[in-house]
Amino acid sequence: MTKQQRVQYLIAKLEELYPEVPIPLQHKDAYTLLIAVLLSAQSQDKRVNTVTPNLFSIADNPYDMIKLSVDEIRAIIKPVGLSPMKSKGIYGLSHILIDKHKGEVPDNFTDLEALPSVGHKTASVVMSQAFGIPAFPVDTHIHRLMYRWNLTNGKNVVQTEKDAKRLFPKELWNKLHLQIIFYGREHSPARGWNMDKDVIYQMIGRKKL
């Protein structure tokens, strides 16, 4: 297979397996998605989804969030890990949203990435899933699978994102990155991976080349 044939196979197979891809993190708007994605850093989505209902029942907007102290936020989000840093980030970005953006989450990378604790991956998720603007967030699943599929050299997530954007049609980015995540969790995990049952790897993986 040529690289383009591998890409076309991949797109078709993922669409067959995951015609519908719900966003894994529970949220209701751009702000709650931003907070949920921030909380998901180095934590599983399932764990985040056990914490956010309690947090959002108290504060689901920046105006209510800043009524809480950093310590109060930390106590609520503690189960997801890295709570000291994340609580400060949530409190700080909520203030900035009020002071600079009229309480609204900005819909551009520059302003999003200027917020405390918001990196490029978090900003990409918000851009793609909250605003529908094409982006290709690269998490550990996508980084691992793109390397296994020989679609990137695996040096770092920055290079993986560049390769993904170069290989995949822009209109598919927002759905495709979720499809890859779902596939990685179910069929191509980091631990306990059975390559013989990984149908995409068997077709286009590195061992075939």
The position carrying tokens 């020989």 is 150
Within 13 Å and on the Cβ side, how many CA atoms surround 69?
Answer: 3
Global pTM reads 0.92
Picking from 109, 130, 151, the residue at the C-terminal end of a domain is 130
Residue partners of 9: CB distance under 8 A and separation at least 6: 1, 200, 203, 204
86 and 158 inside one domain: no
Residues 42 and 125 in one domain: yes
* Pair 109, 127: CB distance under 8 Å: yes
φ and ψ at residue 125, rounded to 5 degrees = -65, -45
- Cβ atoms of residues 92 and 118 within 8 Å: no
Q: Are residues 121 and 179 located together in one domain of the fold?
A: no
Classify residue 105 by its DSSP letter.
Answer: P
The helix-helix angle for 173-187 and 157-167 (nearest 10°) equals 120
- By annotation, the residues acting in catalysis are 121, 139
Q: Do 189 and 163 share a structural domain?
A: yes
> What domain range is 184 assigned to?
3-22+136-208
* One domain, residues 10 and 88: no
The predicted pLDDT at position 104 comes to 98
Residues 85 and 145 in one domain: no
CATH number, residue 44: 1.10.340.30
**CATH code: domain of residue 152:** 1.10.1670.10
Q: Does 88 lie in the same domain as 12?
A: no
Final residue in a domain of this structure, among 112, 130, 148: 130
The runs of H, that is alpha helices, within the chain are 3-17, 30-39, 45-58, 62-65, 70-77, 83-101, 109-113, 120-125, 140-148, 157-167, 173-187, 199-204
Residues 159 and 120 in one domain: no
Last residue in a domain, options 130, 159, 182:
130
Domain count, the chain: 2
Could you tell me if 14 and 79 lie in one domain?
Answer: no
Question: Do both 56 and 82 map to the same domain?
Answer: yes
Whole-angstrom distance, CA of residue 104 vs CA of residue 42: 26
What is the distance between the alpha carbons of residues 84 and 135, in angstroms, rounded to a whole number?
Answer: 29
pLDDT in tens, 23-72: 999 999 999 999 999 999 999 999 999 999 999 999 999 999 999 999 99
Residues 122 and 174 in one domain: no
**Do residues 156 and 180 share a domain?**
yes
What residues of the chain score a pLDDT lower than 70? 207-209
